Structure 1
């Protein structure tokens, strides 16, 4: 009798549609998992549908996104593995700290409360959302040029523009505003229980050329977990940018995540 497959939830980040996980889902399904890639609250099932209805995303904050995935997880028979990118990686960290994941892989995850480095490149990447206070309650899209800086800086211009055309969607700016003030807000939604001794193992993956989440942020995130004996590992792709989950090199990143999960017994 075939053993039950371990559920796995992919969580996309800001400005990229959840369907971009499709190649990963194929790989992980072939490796014996039962993957799903639900969008954020307000996302339409397709890139085109999400672009056509940006107001459905407007005003969604980090807690809204976490609660959305919490509802999905509580509907599963067993705790899933969580794999997230960018803000999706931060959601995965938050849920893991709440003991709502068996393990988590956080790829170029956005800052959590307590992480202090905010490199200029990260500020510039977030600027399309933060530049106007009125964006707090709006959904914002990236131009091809903005996408190239924040996501595709380690790619050719052609590949970056192709990825922008294929996967980019409007995203709520509210999580960016929440992240910008998180270290001044006692009960910030981006506070993660990094001291949890009972949580599952966590792998942080970083791109050394990432503008949106520079490696200094991921290294500082790792330090936040130093008081927990739970497994926290880190892997770096020195020549990769923020697009590392969707560009031509995604199989290498998926392979590292898969090997690590198997090494943890999943």
Structure 2
């Protein structure tokens, strides 16, 4: 049996958005856990619930949810977008076997790089009180920034899976320098497991330069760049190939862990 895998979703998503990845991992023996972050369940008052949630709320929830699983093996943490930022923060707190970051939002301190493409969230920024307003991009904008590279006839169905995101959480990522609580901060030296980073040249939410800068924070790190893919790598035409590559990277790490366990 392979190690457990914790899948952390990104902005506007729920745990259900990991369905394609689970379909690939579970037949390989990975027990997948894909929690839905607080106030992200698609209920009628979801926008009201999520509006002022902080990244700190998400992180505390995720840490408690992992602890509640009672794992006897070290988990693999996999995050996408905002979920990849949470995965980095968790890897500094949880004894993880490995960390996989798909188009990761970066920790605070981006060294001059914008952590998000502001054009993707400009309507929300224009509200004036964006830090306490829930936000979900209009369909046309989501099609451009999230689903580019995916067949247009899938866009509407994908859009219907999205929920509103917390204005506070988005501002903690996009405007980290104004967040005195530094909710997006992390001490990279506290992440001691191997790291795998995916970046995409056509990502219109998180620039590939940001994802590469994230990779540069860690060692050992493996990187895979897809010049023609967009942000939605969790369910596009290359998801299966990407996950097979990640599994191939994980296998030697798992074998070393198993050998160490036998030697103890």
TM-score if structure 2 supplies the norm length? Answer: 0.86
Corresponding residue of 1:223: 216
1:29 counterpart = 2:22:
no
1:187 shift after superposition: 4.7
Select 1:13's aligned residue among 10, 26, 29.
Answer: 10
Say if 2:168 is the partner of 1:153.
no
Mapped partners of 1:50, 1:128: distance in 2 = 24
Q: 1:94 is matched with which residue: 66, 89, 95? A: 89
Deviations 1:202-251 (A, max 9, x none): 111111110101111111222233xxxx4222111111000111223321
Is 1:138 matched up with 2:144? Answer: no
How far is the alpha carbon of 1:53 from its aligned partner? 2.6
For the 8 Å contact 1:12–1:88, the answer to whether it is kept is yes
Using the alignment, how far apart are the partners of 1:176 and 1:66 within structure 2? 14
Structure 2 counterpart of 1:71? 64
Deviations 1:174-221 (A, max 9, x none): 12211233245565111122123x621111111111010111111122
Please identify, of 30-39 and 99-108, the stretch whose mean Cα deviation from structure 2 is larger: 99-108
Distance 1:102 1:50, change over 3 A: farther
**1:42 and 2:39 are equivalent in the alignment:** yes
Distance 1:199 1:171, change over 3 A: same
SS in 2 for 1:15: coil
Match of 1:29, SS? helix
Could you say what the CA RMSD is over the residues aligned between the two structures, in angstroms?
A: 2.2
Partner of 1:194: 188
- The 3-state SS of whatever aligns with 1:82 is strand
Could you tell me which residue of structure 2 aligns to residue 210 of structure 1? 203
Q: Does the alignment pair 1:239 with 2:235? A: no
**CA 23–100 in structure 1, closer or farther in 2 if over 3 Å, else same:** same
* Gap runs ≥5 in structure 2: 256-264
Offset, 1:6: 2.0
Distance 1:264 1:70 in 2: 23
CA distance in 2, matches of 1:203, 1:22: 21
Q: Aligned pair in 2 of structure 1 residues 185, 58: CA closer, same or farther (>3 Å)?
A: closer
Identify if the C-alpha distance between structure 1 residues 172 and 186 changes in structure 2 by more than 3 Å, giving closer, same or farther. Answer: closer
Helix, strand or coil: the match of 2:86?
A: helix
The superposition leaves residues 53-103 of structure 1 with CA deviations (integer Å, 9 ceiling, x where unpaired) of: 322222111111111100011222233211110000111111112244221
- Number of equivalences: 252
Q: CA deviation at 1:17?
A: 2.4
CA deviations on 1:31-73 (whole Å, 9 max, x unpaired) are: 11111111011122xxxx3465322222111111111100011
Structure 1 residues 133 and 246 mapped into 2: Cα distance closer, same or farther (>3 Å)? farther
**Greater mean alpha carbon deviation, residues 85-94 or residues 51-60:** 51-60
